[in-house]
Structure formats: C-alpha cells, structure tokens
Structure 1
C-alpha cells in the first residue's frame, strides 16, 4: 500500500452499499451505482489483476455518500474516469500518453523454465507481469526404469502448455520466448506441438511462428534479463520498449568496463554531468517520480527536461520490470556521457582514495 498526499481527485462510476429504511421502520441494504469524486489518500495497485484501487474521502455532493465519507474506487482497463491534480509535470503527461497508446500494450511473452519449474511472464512496455508459476516434483531417473520420471515430466509440460493457453493473448503478443538451460525448451516445444496436432489446438498451431527458443541459465524469473539480451532474439524484439531498456542498461555496464569516465550513477553526479552538457543517455527509474516529497519529484523532472533540451536521450525504467530492478540498485539514476567530465573523474578518485584510508 502506498500513501500519497491528498491532491489527486478521480471522478468515476463506482458501487456503494447503502442502507434504506421503509415506511414500517425496517432497515435493508443494497448496492447502488453512483458517480463519485474523491480526494485520494491511499493507492493500491494489483499487478496480477491489473487493477488500481484508490481510497479517499468524498468531496462532492452525492445522494448516497455523505461529504467526507471514505470510499474506494477500483480503476481498471476500459473504465472511464477523470483525474484532477494541482500540478501536472512533463513526465506524468508523457506516461499517460504512453499508457493510452494501443501500440504500447504487452507484445512479448516469456516462459522461463527448467525441469519442474516454469515462470510464465508478460513483458509490457512498463513492467514484467508474472502470470503463472508452475512447479512439479520430477523424480530422478533410475537404472532400468524411467517411467516415474517421464510421467512427471509429461504432467509438468501439460501444466505449462495450459498456462500458456490461459494467460497469453496471441492477438496482442508478437513473440513468445521459451527459455531454459539444456534441452528442456526443445523437449517442451516438441511435446506442446505434438499435443496441439493431436488435440487440434488451433490457438497454438496458428501461432507456431511466434514461438522462439532461447538459452537461459535457469528457470527463475531473474534469467529473463539475460534472455532479452540474447543477440539471437534482439531482431525479433527490436520494436519493443522492454528490449530498448535492457539494451540501454547493457550499454551502460559495457561503458563502465571499457570507459568508466563516461558512465556515472547517482543523482548528484548525473546532474553535474548534465550541467556540462555531457549526458548522452539518461537512465532513470519511474519510482523516483512517485516520491511523496514534491521537491524531490520536481528535481528529477527538471533533470529529465534538461537532458532532453540538451539533445540527450531519456530512458524511463519501470521499477516493476527486471531491468528497472537492476537500475534501482544503482540509485535509480545513471547516465552514459558523450565525453568524460574531468571534475566527476577527479571526485571519483578522491572518494576511492578516502575510502582506502
């Protein structure tokens, strides 16, 4: 649950349980549909349901809800609402524009798996959503008999296949990555499409070209980052925002190794580099713009606007995406520079020197 200052005022249709009293004095209750305007105090985002719950006090006259009474409104896709704020900044407006663009919907799905474990994910423009986790105990192969092992593996593959059918919208998804160490991905795909032919599963057969096999070090969620970096699939993912973020972070790490004087992280260092017009690419996490400290939020907005005004590129990372989680470990702000900035390099040397004393 995230607390916010009470400055956001959504106006939307909602349901409210109200009590009614008849002429005889009997009291009953029923749910009514009504349009409310509340002053938001708390926000809760349900990633799995893709649902936003906002709670606050009613600030507009209503037949069913008293002024000042608390109410929770659920905001979801395709439900119209109006949001009022005291101040709108460029970053917020950009995020809204991206969210309202149909082209920004999730277009990549990934199944990261190993024997007995599979994570089915959707990679959207702003986050990695875990849709299902399949876990099955696989007995070891025994000399002379592999029956128990093979049966358990088949049950596991069947569960993963059903998870794909249930959780992946092939009308939107352009590419489904099947990743694993060893030959698990090949064996699973062989099983899946054999079953698709046998059971005439047109959903899988018609979208067979969207499946792409790629190596991963494990079946855990964190392996998704290395999958998205795999050169063999970058062409298929070239038009997705997620791939762009992963590549930008990869470029930053490469620059730190090859030319450390052109890669810095931390808001103070990046601000100084920007003052010298040296920032070529700014990497910044969206969680910084959700701070309750308005001055702090404004500081990051000014940095983003300034970098763009100076001809730099801004990559906004979601804290809910695997690449955003990594950037958050680097303070949430990093930059690739056009050229080294002497003051920053000297300061880094001084810091490392003082640390060794």
Structure 2
C-alpha cells in the first residue's frame, strides 16, 4: 500500500480532506479492512450496470466505470480471496469525512511500511554475493544486493580470507542499515557450503569485539539454512524446508502469543497485576498502573471497528493514555489464536506495573450497600 501522492505523509493527513491510498498487493486489503470504519466516506472506482434507452425506444444494459463515494455501513473481508466488500449509501463527493485517530494512523503507518515488524528477514548469499530480502505472507522484497570481488583460489589464503572479511563487513553494514532490528525478529541466513555459517560467526565476533549487545542478540537468534545458490530464486527451496517453516510459523504473532502467555501466568499467580474486562482495565489505566516499567495493554482490534463512534473513541483514549504513561499497547488480531484467547476475556486485558486489588468491585453496588446499612441505623461507612 502507498499514498497516491508521493508528497503525502502520515503526519500531513488532513482530517477534513481525507487521504488517497493505492492498493498494491493482496495483503493491502487486510490493512484497508482495518483502516476503514463505519461512518467513513470511501471514494473508489466501481462498475455499475446502466440501462440506456435509444431514440427508437429499445433498451440496452451496459457496464460503465464510475467513481463512487459511499458512507460506510459495513465491511466484509475475505482473507482467502483477499477481497474487501464495502457497503454503504452513496453520498455527494463534497461531503468527504474521515476520522484519523492515533490507532488508525498507526495502522496506516504499518500498511505503508515495507519493513513491517512481521516480515521475516533473509540473507541469501554465496562467496561475493548477498541478497537482503524481506518476506511477508504475500511477497518477497529485495532490499539490497551486495557484490564483492573475492580473490580466486589461486590467490593466497590470506588474500581470500581478507576478501571474505571485507564482504561480510559490507553485508553486515548494509543489513543493519536496511532493516529495523530494534525488536526481536526472525533472520534467516542461507547459502551453499559454509558461507552463511561463517557470516553468522563473523557477526558474533564483531558483537564481542565491539561489545554490541544488539548485534549479539541478532546473531544468536539467526537461523542458518542451506540453499543451492546465493541468488534470490533459491529462497523458494529455503522457505519450503521443514526447518524454516517451523521457524516462520506464527512469526507475525510471536510477541502477542508470548504476552498472552505472560498474562495468563500472572492471572494464575493472582498477584493483582493481571486484569481483564473493560471496567477493571479502565480503572487500572486511570490509576497509571499500565505505564512505564512493564505495563502492557492487550486489546482486540475488533473493538476499534465498533459502529458506535463513542465506543471506538473510548478505546482509542485508553491506548493513548497507556502510551502517554510509558506503557505498551498491543492490538491483537481476532484472526489469530492470541486474539481469540483475548476475545474470550472480553477483548481487553492488562498487565500492571504494580499490584492493585479489587478492581472488579462494582462501585454502584458499594454505594447501594452503604445506603442500605445506614438506613438500618447501623454502622455508616
């Protein structure tokens, strides 16, 4: 997905004018489904059947291409066909409206970014050649191709080793500049022979030499696999291998799954640091307990598609407050197991930075009990 205008940026979106987006690949339909909400106005080309009457009175039906602006009433996304159906009433194009809150803007940023957190990073290499790629569920993006001259076998072993070290240095520098490794993500290193394995050893050596903990983590988590060549087409055989398929399984949702496991562990401990349900979580966030120091808000993305604008705004405000307090807000997909587990808890849960007890007590019930007790002439609380 990308902006229709090359000058457009997320920061410069005009909420009154809206924004024009181009669908570039099937995966973009998933993002469009998350961006378009009930009440939005969508402008898009469409084909309509039109009945035309000739001067002789005969009627013909033909399909014409036209631009429609509709106020969204509902959407339906078919993940298998990557098709999105938007239903609504036709409105005047001049009545364009849009609601770009912080959650929608974050979804848009992820949709526009090639280097998405869920994309698997792969370096397919051989002596003197490396292709740095990003792999999503839909496509493979070649970010960089590195070529380096390596002395032939007739040269001294010292020259060959020096040439490979220079090649590895260039590949590592390009990899770190091209890909965001600020969070843990899957890195595949594939090659014939021992090139990928030696490159990983080079990464580990550099991490130790420079005391670079981030590089140490990248090298430790990298998965080395065999490929027939260092060219991009070898990725096909790499991705089909059982080892890689096991590594990539649920890569997109690994963090979410781990957070849900962490939440359930806390819930079993019953230490007052794990709460679920709208009211308890709202209270915890209002207290600032889901902030800096390990606070995490887990919220199902389906809640942001509510037909009630006030409801959506309420959940957006919760996300904004958690981020403002220095906590982490995670939107879980209802299409995945982690989101389905959260849905069973009401679609919202939180891991607190410090324990709070009795968040699930109903304030109204307490007030009613107070009135009842005082009416009997006993202790007034």
Instruction: Provide the TM-score with structure 2 as the length reference.
Output: 0.51
Pick closer, same or farther for the CA change 1:330–1:84 going to 2, 3 Å: farther
Instruction: Write the mapping of 1:136-175 to structure 2, written as runs, cut at 5 A.
Output: 169=139
Return the alpha-carbon distance in structure 1 between the equivalents of residues 341 and 289 of structure 2.
23
Structure 1 match to 2:89: 57
**1:297 corresponds to 2:326:** no
**1:92 corresponds to 2:104:** yes
**1:317 corresponds to 2:304:** no
Structure 1: runs of 5 or more not aligned: 62-81, 109-122, 130-167, 177-196, 215-223, 228-232, 351-357
Instruction: Write the mapping of 1:22-101 to structure 2, written as runs, cut at 5 A.
Output: 22-60=54-92, 84-101=96-113
> Alpha-carbon deviation of 1:285?
0.3
Return the alpha-carbon distance in structure 2 between the equivalents of residues 47 and 255 of structure 1.
34
SS of equivalent to 1:324 = helix
More strand per residue: 1
Question: Do the aligned residues in 2 keep the contact of 1:175 with 1:211 (CA within 8 Å)?
Answer: no
Question: Do the aligned residues in 2 keep the contact of 1:9 with 1:37 (CA within 8 Å)?
Answer: yes
Return the alpha-carbon distance in structure 2 between the equivalents of residues 100 and 272 of structure 1.
34
The match for 2:265 among 231, 250, 254 is 254
Tell me which structure has the larger Cα radius of gyration: 2
Instruction: Write the mapping of 1:1-357 to structure 2, written as runs, cut at 5 A.
Output: 7-60=39-92, 84-104=96-116, 107=119, 169=139, 206-211=235-240, 213=242, 233=247, 241-258=252-269, 260-279=271-290, 280-344=295-359
> Alpha-carbon deviation of 1:170?
5.3
Structure 2: runs of 5 or more not aligned: 1-35, 121-134, 143-185, 189-227, 366-381
Pick closer, same or farther for the CA change 1:9–1:281 going to 2, 3 Å: same
Pick closer, same or farther for the CA change 1:345–1:25 going to 2, 3 Å: closer
Pick closer, same or farther for the CA change 1:275–1:105 going to 2, 3 Å: closer
- Post-superposition CA distance 1:261-313 (Å, at most 9, x none): 21111111111211222110010001111112222222211111111111100
Pick closer, same or farther for the CA change 1:285–1:339 going to 2, 3 Å: same
Return the alpha-carbon distance in structure 2 between the equivalents of residues 100 and 45 of structure 1.
19
SS of equivalent to 2:56 = coil
- Post-superposition CA distance 1:203-249 (Å, at most 9, x none): 985433334547xxxxxxxxx9xx7xxxxx4xx689x5421211111
Report the RMSD for the aligned CA atoms in angstroms: 4.1
Question: Do the aligned residues in 1 keep the contact of 2:256 with 2:338 (CA within 8 Å)?
Answer: yes
Return the alpha-carbon distance in structure 1 between the equivalents of residues 37 and 261 of structure 2.
36
Instruction: Provide the TM-score with structure 1 as the length reference.
Output: 0.54
**Number of equivalences:** 230
- Post-superposition CA distance 1:110-139 (Å, at most 9, x none): xxxxxxxxxxxxx97xxxx9xxxxxxxxxx
